[in-house]
Amino acid sequence: MLDLPPLARFGDRLATGLLDVTSDPAALESEGFWAVCAAFEGGLTCARFAEVRTEPVPVPTPGKWRGPAVGDWTSSLDRAAYTTGVRRIRAHIAAGEVYQANLCRVLTAPIGPGADVDALTALLARGNPAPYAGTVRLPEHGVEIATASPELFLRRDGRTVESGPIKGTGRTEADLLEKDYAENVMIVDLVRNDLGRVCATGTVTVPDLCAVEKHPGLVHLVSTVRGELPADAGWPELLDAAFPPGSVTGAPKSSALRIIDALETAPRGPYCGGVGWVDADRGTGGLAVGIRTFWIERAADGAARLRFGTGAGITWGSDPEGEWRETELKAARLLAVASGAYEVHATGEALAT
Residue 180 pLDDT greater than 90, yes or no: no
Catalytic residue among 144, 167, 183, 253: 167
151 an active-site residue? yes
Return d(Cα 51, Cα 89) in angstroms, integer: 47
196-254 pLDDT per residue, tens: 999 999 999 999 999 998 888 888 899 999 999 999 999 999 999 999 999 999 999 99
Mean pLDDT of 312-328: 94
> Quick one: pLDDT band at residue 315, thresholds 50, 70, 90?
very high
Residue 325 pLDDT greater than 70, yes or no: yes
* Element containing residue 196 per DSSP (H, E): helix 178-196
14 SS3 class: strand
CB of 307 closer than 8 Å to CB of 271? yes
167 an active-site residue? yes
Return d(Cα 156, Cα 237) in angstroms, integer: 13
Q: Residues 58-70, buried b or exposed e (16+ Cβ, 10 A)?
A: eebeeebbebbee
Residue 179 pLDDT greater than 90, yes or no: no
Q: Residues 184-210, buried b or exposed e (16+ Cβ, 10 A)?
A: bbbbbebbbbbbbebbeeebbeeeeeb
Return d(Cα 336, Cα 334) in angstroms, integer: 5
The residue length of the chain stands at 353
Percent of the chain with pLDDT over 70: 95
Return d(Cα 299, Cα 74) in angstroms, integer: 18
- pTM across the whole model: 0.93
348: left (phi over 0), alpha (psi -120 to 50) or beta: left
Mean pLDDT of 47-64: 94
| Chain centroid offset of residue 19 CA | 25
φ, ψ (nearest 5 deg) of residue 80 = -65, -45
> Quick one: pLDDT band at residue 1, thresholds 50, 70, 90?
low
The interaxial angle of helices 79-94 and 320-339, nearest 10 deg, is 140
Return d(Cα 235, Cα 29) in angstroms, integer: 7
Q: Pick from 312, 352, 349: which is nearest to 330 by CA?
A: 312
98-123 pLDDT per residue, tens: 999 999 999 999 999 999 999 999 99
Return d(Cα 285, Cα 274) in angstroms, integer: 12
Report whether the peptide linkage leading into residue 252 is cis, meaning its omega lies within 30 degrees of zero: yes
Catalytic residue among 31, 55, 64, 151: 151
Mean pLDDT of 36-56: 97
CB of 33 closer than 8 Å to CB of 277? yes
Q: Pick from 53, 68, 67, 171: which is nearest to 123 by CA?
A: 67
Return d(Cα 5, Cα 18) in angstroms, integer: 9
CB of 279 closer than 8 Å to CB of 149? no
